[in-house]
Chains A and B, each alone.
Chain A
Amino acid sequence: DAGVTQSPTHLIKTRGQHVTLRCSPISGHKSVSWYQQVLGQGPQFIFQYYEKEERGRGNFPDRFSARQFPNYSSELNVNALLLGDSALYLCASRPGSGFSYNEQFFGPGTRLTVL
Chain B
Amino acid sequence: GQQVMQIPQYQHVQEGEDFTTYCNSSTTLSNIQWYKQRPGGHPVFLIQLVKSGEVKKQKRLTFQFGEAKKNSSLHITATQTTDVGTYFCASMEYGNKLVFGAGTILRVKS
A residues contacting B by CB (< 8 A) are 33, 35, 41-45, 48, 50, 55-59, 90, 97-99, 102-109
| Chain B interface residue count, Cβ-Cβ cutoff 8 angstroms | 24
Please give the distance in Å from B74's CB to the nearest CB on chain A.
14
How far is the CB of A22 from the nearest CB of chain B, in Å?
16
Taken residue by residue from 76 to 110, chain B's Cβ proximity to chain A (1 for < 8 Å, 0 otherwise) reads as: 00000000000010101001111111110000000
Residue among A58, A104, A109 with max Cβ neighbours from chain B (10 Å): A104
Determine how close the nearest CB of chain A comes to the CB of B88; give it in whole angstroms: 5
Instruction: Give the distance in Å from the alpha carbon of A55 to the alpha carbon of B31 in the complex.
Output: 19
Q: Which B residues lie within 8 Å of A41 (CB)?
A: 102-103
Q: Tell me which of B14-22, B37-45, B56-64, B65-73 binds A.
A: B37-45
- Pairwise interchain contact B45-A105, C-beta atoms closer than 8 A: yes
Q: Which residue of A lies closest to B89 (CB)?
A: A42
| Measured CA separation A109–B33 after assembly (Å) | 20
Which single residue of chain A is at the shortest CB-CB distance from B48?
A102
Alpha-carbon separation in the docked complex, A5 to B45 (Å): 16
Instruction: Enumerate chain A residues within 8 angstroms of B96, measured Cβ to Cβ.
Output: 33, 48, 50, 55-56, 97-98
Shortest Cβ-Cβ A-B pairs, 10 listed? A42-B100, A56-B96, A106-B42, A48-B96, A56-B95, A45-B97, A103-B45, A106-B43, A55-B96, A43-B100
Q: Are A90 and B43 in contact (CB under 8 A)?
A: yes
For residue B30, CB closer than 8 A to chain A, the reply is yes
Q: A42-B103, A56-B96 given; name 17 further pairs at CB < 8 Å.
A: A33-B96, A35-B98, A42-B88, A43-B43, A43-B98, A55-B96, A58-B97, A90-B43, A97-B96, A98-B96, A99-B30, A99-B31, A102-B33, A102-B48, A104-B43, A106-B43, A108-B41
For A108, the closest partner residue in chain B by CB is B42
Contact at B98–A33, with CB atoms within 8 Å? yes
Residues of the A chain whose Cβ atoms lie less than 8 Å from the Cβ of B99 = 45
Tell me the complex Cα distance, A97–B95, Å.
10
